[in-house]
A and B are shown apart, each in its own frame.
Chain A
Amino acid sequence: MTARGGSAMRLRGLVRKEFLQIVRDPSSIAIAFLMPIFLLILFGYGVSLDADHVPMALLAEAPSQDSADFMAALQGSHYFAPRIMNSMPEAELALREGKVKGIIRLRAAFSRRMRQADGAPIQVVVDGVDANTARLVMGYVEGAWGEWIAAQAARHGQSMTVPVDLQPRIWFNSELRSRNYLVPGLIAIIMTLIGALLTALVMAREWERGTMEALLVTPASMSEVLIGKLAAYFILGTGGMLLTVGLSVWLFEVPLRGSFWLLWLCSSLFLLAALGMGLTISTLARSQFVAGQIAIIATFLPAFLLSGFIFDIGSMPPVVQLITHVVVARYFVAIVQTLFLAGNVWPVILPNAMALTAMAAIFLTITWKKSRKRLD
């Protein structure tokens, strides 16, 4: 009984010590509270895949009523910021210099060939360097073209000439706002960084400064030292997490369709895994310098590129898909995207939450084992 009471007291003391250290070096507080706000606001506004007002060169070699009609269809669309050009060399130069993303050219025979059986060609050239934007632009042009065709048919009293009429319906995100899926993903990325940043140096720092030995001659056991650190940073991290979720819902208006408490629970699991990863790095590296280097290389880019935050994991080669399984953020990205946009879909949440639990357990066990070994 006394032993347990002593343990609780020691733990409280250790947590207090961690908090004092956190308060003394304000960079930890900055990491936990300012960094998530700063990054989420910057990225929430900055990161978007929705191209709008794409600068396009419009070129009608022999202006006529028909060409003016078609151009009007493009000019009316908010997807384009059309620039009228007078010759193809001028338009090509603009494309080469990156001033426009594409060229739409109506040749001199446009009006005449519209009355022929095979129809008039509309030449479209897009800048393919950014393939994704190029594809979007092509889609926009196609959309504007389709509307123009329909309007033409209606005006001439013909029925639609499209045999199969494609009617797409997008679930969970009907307006296709890319922010709705990017912002929840950003929470996962930002919290990965914060979790690792908070703890990546703490163990190494104690070893480097010799304070770890000092801690170990006290009655506190290694597990208590670890739990003390984990508890302190877990509380900090939870604060950061709540801030980012709040910002996403109220500032960025991403709908939270699933349960808030389930999100809280999954976030806690994720935070344990992320903090555990930091502690593992810190324990294995021994020196703060190396721990810092590992944190830089092992956290951000893998979380950014391999988590499914922006690149579809299903389209990666099998080997790379396998590698993504060691990226903690991957599981949390799946959970937050589903919880925010689709709701409590248990078949998605459960396996990913279990994976997070396993990752947390693995990292914390490694830390514990490796730290204990040092004692001998």
Chain B
Amino acid sequence: MWRRILALVHKEFLALLKDPKSRMVLIVPPLIQLLVFGYAATFDLKQVPYAVYNEDGGVAARDLLARFSGAASFKQVADLHSESEIAPLVDVRRVLVVIHIGPRFSADLLSGRPAPLQVIADGRNSNSAMIALNYVRSIVDRYNDEWIAAHGLQGPPARLEMRSWFNPNLESRWFFIPGIIGMLTLVVTMLVTALTVAREREQGTFDQLLVTPLRPGEILIGKTVPGFAIGIVQATLILLVATLWFRVPFLGSLPAFYAGLALFLLSGVGAGLLISALSATQQQGLLGAFLFMVPAVILSGFATPIANMPEVVQVVTLIDPLRYFLVVLRKLFLEGAGFGLVVDQLWPMAVIGATSLVLAGWLFRHRMY
């Protein structure tokens, strides 16, 4: 029996790797994508382009503006002289933020009245707008604290002391790179599995396979091993790049990582083979791959938290294996978790993997064309 399976595994590897184009597709793009995406995926804004419309000639206004021009996260691109210049600049996205200081700003400040500072942000990307406003707010807050201290004013009765755990500088790259590992691994398993059975169906070789002494279970193993093996190799490479190149700390346990990876690969391969077994043509297989992969990525909590989704959609995410793997990855990378904290995420992947593999094996025989 094992010799038969081994022969099948051998044939599957050949089918995947003998075509130089296919070999290229499996190995090179995922690594390039990790590098590119690793740099692209961040919510931290660099050099927010801003314009200043200063109607006040006072020192206080100049002092406040100096803090913006001195901040690394801001880059001034224009100095405006009338209100009508604001709209054209924002419309064409030359600036994300416009800082407008009214004519009585310094006078108000010196006489102890609250001095309004108008800040306009381009809300077309509301997330960037909010982040940029937060940057503005922190500069203004510091300015206020120093003004209160310098002028002996009565400060607020309580102040906030904020700290963040696990990611003290709130680097969003640390959040996204572990996520990219999961995403790319899923893509690779789809590449390897989603079209295999469909191709054999289309070319008629699957019928030949079914009349050999191989049982459906054995065919299943033969089809699972390549996806599994290639996934392990890819994920290991990607893990190395993430820690050595991007220097994301990996604090957790390595055995827990591989346990999570193995179960995730099983569920990914299972889903891919299930899609493939359901399709009569490669076109349908490709459609199925997208219909699984795209929601699996977008609803996994990779970029937008699952907690923000409506209840119904949250229930849908329960069958998404990537959802569990992302939690495992983030806990292992940033929180330094061991097996204990990730077990809750491991068993659902095992269930998804087992169910989809069994279904796929059953469909091998029961869906004939």
Contact = CB atoms under 8 A, between A and B. Distances in A.
Interface string B150-167: 000111111111111111
B3 interface: no
Contacts of B305: 49, 51, 130, 133
B120 A169 contact: yes
B115 A165 contact: yes
B191 A293 contact: yes
B166 A168 contact: no
Interface string B21-39: 1100110011001001101
Nearest to B287: A27
A126 B165 contact: yes
Contacts of A95: 165
Most chain-A Cβ atoms within 10 A of its Cβ — which of B40, B91, B114?
Answer: B40
Contacts of B330: 129
B43 interface: yes
Nearest to A179: B126
A75 to B, nearest CB: 17
Interface in A144-158: 145, 149, 152, 158
A364 interface: no
A31 to B, nearest CB: 6
Given A42-B313, A128-B170, A167 B117 contact: yes
A48 to B, nearest CB: 4
Given A39-B294, A163-B109, A167-B117, A134 B304 contact: no
Contacts, number: 362
Most chain-A Cβ atoms within 10 A of its Cβ — which of B125, B175, B183, B202?
Answer: B125
Main secondary structure of the interface of A (DSSP, over half): helix
A194 B26 CA distance: 23
B283 A119 contact: no
B368 interface: no
A354 interface: no
B271 interface: no
B93 A42 contact: no
A115 to B, nearest CB: 8
A260 interface: no
Contacts of A178: 126-127
Contact of A315 (B46, B291, B293): B46
B213 interface: no
Interface in B194-211: 194-195, 199, 202
Contacts of A127: 164-166
B282 A289 contact: yes
B143 interface: yes
B154 A158 contact: yes
Interface stretch (A10-18, A82-90, A223-231, A335-343): A335-343
A164 B109 contact: yes
A85 to B, nearest CB: 16
A201 B203 CA distance: 15
Nearest to A150: B156
A163 B128 CA distance: 26
B235 interface: no
Interface residues of B, number: 117
A138 B184 CA distance: 31
A315 B298 contact: no
Nearest to A96: B335
A197 B287 contact: yes
A162 B145 CA distance: 9
Given A205-B283, A292-B282, A296-B286, A129 B175 contact: yes
Interface stretch (A213-221, A237-245, A300-308, A368-376): A300-308
Interface stretch (B131-139, B260-268, B348-356): B131-139
Contacts of A28: 283
B121 A169 contact: yes
A169 B119 contact: yes
Interface string B334-349: 1100000100000000
Interface string A163-189: 111111111111011101110000000
Given A27-B287, A314-B49, A201 B155 contact: no
Contacts of B165: 95, 125-128
A163 B144 contact: yes
B164 A315 contact: no
Interface of B: 19, 21-22, 25-26, 29-30, 33, 36-37, 39-47, 49, 64, 90-93, 96, 109, 112-131, 133-134, 136-137, 140, 143-144, 147-148, 153-168, 170-172, 174-175, 183-184, 187, 190-191, 194-195, 199, 202, 281-287, 289-291, 293-295, 297-299, 303-305, 307-310, 312-313, 316-317, 330, 334-335, 341
Given A161-B155, A287-B19, A301-B183, 8 more contacts: A121-B158, A164-B115, A171-B121, A181-B124, A201-B286, A289-B19, A294-B25, A306-B36
The 4 nearest A-B residue pairs measured at CB:
A173-B123, A128-B164, A128-B167, A170-B123
25 contacts: A43-B295, A46-B316, A96-B335, A124-B163, A129-B175, A131-B175, A134-B170, A149-B156, A149-B158, A162-B114, A163-B147, A164-B144, A165-B114, A165-B115, A166-B140, A172-B122, A176-B126, A182-B304, A201-B286, A300-B290, A301-B33, A312-B43, A312-B45, A341-B123, A345-B92
